[in-house]
């Protein structure tokens, strides 16, 4: 059954992916960056910042990273802010107060100049430490993960997984390009990864980077165990589990979400991986670097 919550949830995930793409998602799915106390300098702080509670009851969420060091977040939870600031999945966050997933906030911040994405993330961590009194530590825990492996015994790739001829250079194509110009729905990047609603399109990327990208849709950390070391062009499309209700009957319009046409009867992510890329996700367990929340407080209103 499809609900309005599903539509809003998917929109939230998409907007989260958009901010992660702007920041450059790490291709190492087990890595959690250092906490502000360990990795942020005094200079890594926003020039001005505002945090206010959002009691609208509106389920819609918006996250925008804009040129000039500006960040705007509307109706976000602390968990969502932590996910973006620390580049982790939900399964990599442990502990925290009971309002971690329910209390919502509006955040606006402005940095001095136009800092790179990595520095902006350090600023977000410093902001969370200052305003939410957030304190964390890292632990390695044995958790359920997915292993990305060839679906065929002969390891033959699927039709939408092709060795790339793109000249992306060393170190490129492993993550979405920082400060990239937003692409139109269906548009393909020259290098790197673009995540849409039920789609991943990449040029000159590694399967380690694909694994990291898949984690957000699969709901677990994904580990690359394909054994493939080449760079690939990837075109993967699937129908998410929760989508808005499609129109039926005469005069029905195509289902469009965030500018992309969605087939409500399309394959699941797991089926699409096998049919289109010749890959599959196997459930297993492995050591995962978990961000444990030791302390968090609701901020005082500006």
Print the domain residue range for 98. 4-142+288-295
Residue 107 and residue 109: Cα distance in Å, rounded? 7
Q: Output the pLDDT for position 246.
A: 52
22 and 126 in a single domain? The answer is yes
Task: Classify residue 191: in a domain, yes or no.
Answer: yes
Mean predicted confidence (pLDDT) in 256-284: 85
13: pLDDT strictly greater than 50: no
Q: Output the pLDDT for position 68.
A: 79
174 and 282 in a single domain? The answer is yes
Task: Classify residue 102: in a domain, yes or no.
Answer: yes
Give the pLDDT confidence of 195-217 residue by residue, as tens digits. Answer: 877 889 899 999 999 998 898 88
Task: Classify residue 300: in a domain, yes or no.
Answer: no
Asked whether 238 and 266 are in contact (CB, 8 A), the reply is yes
48 and 121 in a single domain? The answer is yes
Q: Looking at per-residue confidence, does 47 or 172 come out higher?
A: 47
Task: Classify residue 302: in a domain, yes or no.
Answer: no
Gyration radius of the chain over CA positions: 19
Percent with pLDDT over 70 in the chain: 72
Give the pLDDT confidence of 157-198 residue by residue, as tens digits. Answer: 999 999 998 877 544 444 443 333 445 555 666 777 888 778
Q: Write the CB contacts of 271 (distance below 8 Å, at least 6 apart in sequence).
A: 238
Confidence of residue 46 (pLDDT cuts 50, 70, 90): very high
162 and 242 in a single domain? The answer is yes
Cross-strand bridge partners of residue 140: 289
Q: Output the pLDDT for position 70.
A: 87
Please give the structure tokens belonging to residue 38: 């360990």
Task: Classify residue 128: in a domain, yes or no.
Answer: yes
Mean predicted confidence (pLDDT) in 40-46: 64
Q: Output the pLDDT for position 35.
A: 40
User: Looking at the 3D structure of the chain, how many domains does it have?
Assistant: 2
17: pLDDT strictly greater than 80: no
57 and 163 in a single domain? The answer is no
136 and 172 in a single domain? The answer is no
Confidence of residue 271 (pLDDT cuts 50, 70, 90): very high
Please give the structure tokens belonging to residue 275: 């049919």
Task: Please state whether the predicted TM-score (pTM) of the whole model is above 0.75.
Answer: no
Asked whether 207 and 224 are in contact (CB, 8 A), the reply is yes
Give the pLDDT confidence of 57-109 residue by residue, as tens digits. Answer: 887 788 887 777 888 999 999 999 999 899 888 889 999 999 999 999 999 99
3-state helix, strand, coil in the chain (%, to 5): 25, 30, 45
Task: Classify residue 238: in a domain, yes or no.
Answer: yes
137 and 150 in a single domain? The answer is no
Return mean pLDDT, the chain: 78
Distances (CA, A) of 130 to 77, 89, 134: 16, 23, 7
98 and 174 in a single domain? The answer is no
Confidence of residue 260 (pLDDT cuts 50, 70, 90): low
Q: Output the pLDDT for position 193.
A: 82
SS3 label, residue 152: coil
Q: Output the pLDDT for position 127.
A: 96
Mean predicted confidence (pLDDT) in 249-278: 75
Task: Classify residue 31: in a domain, yes or no.
Answer: yes
Q: Output the pLDDT for position 16.
A: 39
Q: Which residue's entry shows tokens 């979405």?
A: 176
Q: Output the pLDDT for position 144.
A: 94
Mean predicted confidence (pLDDT) in 131-153: 96
2: pLDDT strictly greater than 60: no
210 and 136 in a single domain? The answer is no
Q: Output the pLDDT for position 30.
A: 34
Confidence of residue 9 (pLDDT cuts 50, 70, 90): very low
296: pLDDT strictly greater than 90: yes
Strand pairing category for 199-205 and 192-196:
antiparallel
Task: Classify residue 301: in a domain, yes or no.
Answer: no
Q: Output the pLDDT for position 136.
A: 97
Q: Write the CB contacts of 181 (distance below 8 Å, at least 6 apart in sequence).
A: none
Give the pLDDT confidence of 127-139 residue by residue, as tens digits. Answer: 999 999 999 999 9
125 and 37 in a single domain? The answer is yes
181 and 223 in a single domain? The answer is yes
225 and 257 in a single domain? The answer is yes
Q: Output the pLDDT for position 228.
A: 95
Asked whether 104 and 53 are in contact (CB, 8 A), the reply is yes
């Amino acid at each position: 059954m499809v609900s309005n919550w599903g539509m809003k949830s998917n929109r939230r995930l998409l907007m989260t992916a958009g901010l992660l793409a702007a920041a450059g998602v790490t291709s190492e799915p087990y890595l959690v960056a250092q906490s502000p106390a360990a990795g942020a300098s005094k200079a890594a702080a926003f020039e001005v910042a505002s945090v206010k509670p959002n009691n609208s009851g509106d389920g819609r969420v918006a996250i925008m990273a804009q040129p000039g060091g500006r960040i705007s977040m509307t109706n976000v939870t602390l968990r969502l802010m932590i996910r973006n600031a620390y580049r982790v999945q939900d399964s990599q966050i442990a502990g925290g107060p009971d309002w971690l997933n329910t209390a919502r906030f509006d955040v606006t911040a402005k940095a001095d100049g136009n800092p790179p994405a990595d520095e902006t993330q350090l600023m977000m961590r410093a902001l969370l430490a200052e305003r939410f009194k957030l304190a964390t530590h890292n632990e390695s825990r044995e958790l359920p993960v997915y292993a990305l492996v060839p679906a065929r015994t002969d390891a033959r790739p699927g039709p939408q997984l092709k060795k790339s001829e793109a000249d992306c250079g060393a170190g490129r194509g492993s993550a979405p390009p920082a400060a990239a110009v937003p692409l139109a729905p269906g548009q393909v990047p020259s290098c790197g990864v673009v995540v849409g609603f039920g789609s991943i399109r990449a040029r000159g990327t590694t399967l380690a980077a694909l694994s990291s990208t898949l984690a957000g849709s699969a709901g677990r950390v994904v580990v690359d165990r394909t054994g493939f070391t080449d760079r690939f062009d990837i075109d993967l499309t699937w129908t998410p589990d929760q989508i808005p209700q499609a129109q039926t009957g005469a005069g029905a319009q195509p289902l469009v979400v965030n500018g992309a046409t969605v087939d409500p009867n399309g394959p699941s992510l797991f089926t699409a991986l096998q049919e289109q890329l010749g890959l599959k996700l196997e459930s297993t367990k492995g050591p995962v670097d978990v961000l444990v929340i030791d302390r968090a407080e609701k901020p005082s209103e500006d």
